[in-house]
Amino acid sequence: MKVSIIGTGYVGLVTGTCFAEVGHKVICVDCDDEKVKLLQQGGVPIYEPGLEELIQKNVASGGLTFTTSTREGVEKSDIIFIAVPTPPLPDGSVDLSFMEGVARDIASVMTSYKIVVDKSTVPVKTGDKVVETIRRYCKSQVEFDVVSNPEFLREGFAVGDFLKPDRVVVGVRSQRPVTAMREMYAPFNCPIIVTDINSAELIKHAANSFLALKISYINAISVLCEASGANVQEVANGIGMDHRIGRAFLDSSLGFGGSCFPKDLSAFIKISEKLGYDFALLKEVQCINARQMDRFFKKIVDTLWVLKDKKIGVLGLAFKQNTDDVRMSPAIELCQRLQKEGAILRVYDPKAMEKAKSLLQNVTYVADMNSVAEGCDALVVATEWPEFKKLDLERVRKVMTHPIMFDGRNLFDLEEMERLGFIYKSIGR
Ligand code: NAD
């Protein structure tokens, strides 16, 4: 099928590439000239495992192209996916100006029937507004359908998630676009759930809020574990093996971050408020998350006492493993708090250092993980990159001024760390 994706970011680029991979003809549109130029020249603006190879392959076969022209994307496609940002406003509600802008752009160049699919995460009832906007700004009486098709991919696993989705949700106002949407997703051999638009939009916020809730739940349990001498990993295994609960998202940490959970939670709380419901449960999820960072920071202060002029190594800047995304990263927040207290930071991340540079200045960016701890009074693990588990701990201990480690991701074995002579503080154990 001929499709265009408007917004070529983490979601749009993966969506476009994977659709091309299964045989659709895809045009990725973005208003960022430099990004499009980079992609046209064979570069990739984000790190996502497996993505670069797929882009190269599909560009070479002619199935994937890039442009800054929405007109070109719309004219040459039957289905137009929107994957632009939906960032938070200061009060936590969603800034829908990018969505509105794109709906207007599409309307102004549409001359034949199109299916306009919203892939961005939006508040329930946004679909109605998109319909109204397209009608208002379309010069001729062109027919169109608006569909909600929320995206569930995880950064760091985005290609795999997109190619093998648990389910695809398709929210529609009429049956007309359903066949085309089924055809789009047929190559993925996954369940397709067809709903009304409002339900589809609500599914996305409900899903992300539930996942955030699971993380805050285990983080709350970690507080009880620390207070009672229990081990949160054992508890997580014990409850997670119950299939009604599941083990995923039960890893205690210094809290969740990233460009989705924090904003989607705030958004869902605001959406609920507008619909007349006080979603106090989700407010507590936010509070637990904020307190988890505070508790971790306090552990550092309690151990090191004065942070001014203390040299601290930090492993991990991305908001989670396998990504270069530092938006709302707990690791960055932690670094900024340490810096505010006068700590001197040496930091390392396998993929996120370039992107971190705009948020984190006056730190030493170190080229390899085993050198971060050199001359440090303490080492902090802030992101769960799998390679950090392979840290040369003997060497790290030897090069540190004091062998103190704060592990915000519970990567290491308690007994092993004790045997190696570390003062080792992790979460919930
Ligand atoms: P992003 O910031 O990485 O990418 C958005 C892209 O849209 C940017 O390249 C930007 O230049 C472009 N853009 C903005 N306005 C445009 C316009 N008028 N025309 C063309 N391009 C335009 O954002 P993202 O992380 O891909 O998120 C996009 C949406 O998907 C958000 O609603 C987000 O909540 C949702 N989502 C994100 C993830 C994720 O893991 N990142 C997962 C599921 C859903």
Q: pLDDT tens across 96-105, in order?
A: 999 999 999 9
Pocket flag, ligand 1, residue 201 (CB < 6 Å): no
The domain made up of 2-190 has a fold known as Rossmann fold (3.40.50)
Quote the pTM value.
Answer: 0.96
Pocket flag, ligand 1, residue 155 (CB < 6 Å): yes
Query: Could you tell me the maximum CA-CA distance found in the chain, to the nearest angstrom?
Result: 75
R_g over Cα of the chain:
23
Atom 19 of ligand 1, residue of closest alpha carbon: 31
Distance CA 222, CA 87 (A): 31
Pocket flag, ligand 1, residue 10 (CB < 6 Å): yes
Average pLDDT over residues 67-71: 98
**pLDDT for residue 140:** 87
Whether the CB-CB separation of 292 and 325 falls below 8 Å is answered with no
Whether the CB-CB separation of 197 and 170 falls below 8 Å is answered with no
Q: Is the dihedral of CA 416, 417, 418, 421 positive or negative?
A: positive
Pocket flag, ligand 1, residue 99 (CB < 6 Å): no
CATH 3.40.50.720 domain locations along the chain: 2-190, 287-425
Pocket flag, ligand 1, residue 29 (CB < 6 Å): yes
Average pLDDT over residues 103-121: 97
Question: What is the chain's mean pLDDT, rounded?
Answer: 97
Average pLDDT over residues 21-43: 97
Express as a percent the part of the chain with pLDDT over 70.
100
Distance CA 429, CA 217 (A): 16
Which H or E element spans position 127?
helix 126-137
Q: How many Å lie between the centroid of ligand 1 and the Cα of residue 48?
A: 15
**190 noted as active-site residue:** no
Q: Which of these is catalytic: 260, 287, 335, 376?
A: 260
**pLDDT for residue 383:** 98
Question: Which residues are paired to 82 by β-bridges?
Answer: 6, 118
- Any residues with CB less than 8 A from the CB of 135 and at least 6 apart, and which? 107
Q: Which CATH class is domain 287-425?
A: alpha beta
Atom of ligand 1 nearest to the CA of 86: 32
